[in-house]
Amino acid sequence: MPSLKAWAEQLGGLPFPLLSDYWPHGAIGKAYGVFNEERGMDKRSAFVLDAAGIIRYSKVYEPGTIPESKDLLEQLRQI
C-alpha cells in the first residue's frame, strides 16, 4: 500500500483507488489467477478495470521487472 500511494503521488495523484493484495493474503491474486502457490506471493502483474469492474487490460511481468508507468497510464487513458 505505501508503494502504491507513493507511485500515485509521483504521477500527481490519481482520481481512482489502487488495489494491493495485502489481506487476506493472496485473495486478490488467487481471484485474478496470478498467485504463485510455490512462492506464496502474487506474480508481478497489473490490471486495469473500468468503472463497471470489467478487466480492460492485464499484464503479468517477469520477476524483477517493474511495470512502466507510461504504459499503464496509456491504458487508463483508453478507458
The pLDDT of residue 51 is above 80: yes
The pLDDT of residue 1 is above 70: no
Q: Which residues contact 30 (CB under 8 A, 6 or more apart)?
A: none
Q: How far apart are the first and last CA of the chain?
A: 24
The pLDDT of residue 52 is above 80: yes
The pLDDT of residue 32 is above 90: yes
Domain boundaries, the chain: 2-78
Total Cβ atoms within 10 A of residue 35: 20
Superfamily of domain 2-78: Glutaredoxin (3.40.30.10)
CA gap 42, 53 in Å, rounded? 20
Q: What is the mean pLDDT of the chain?
A: 86
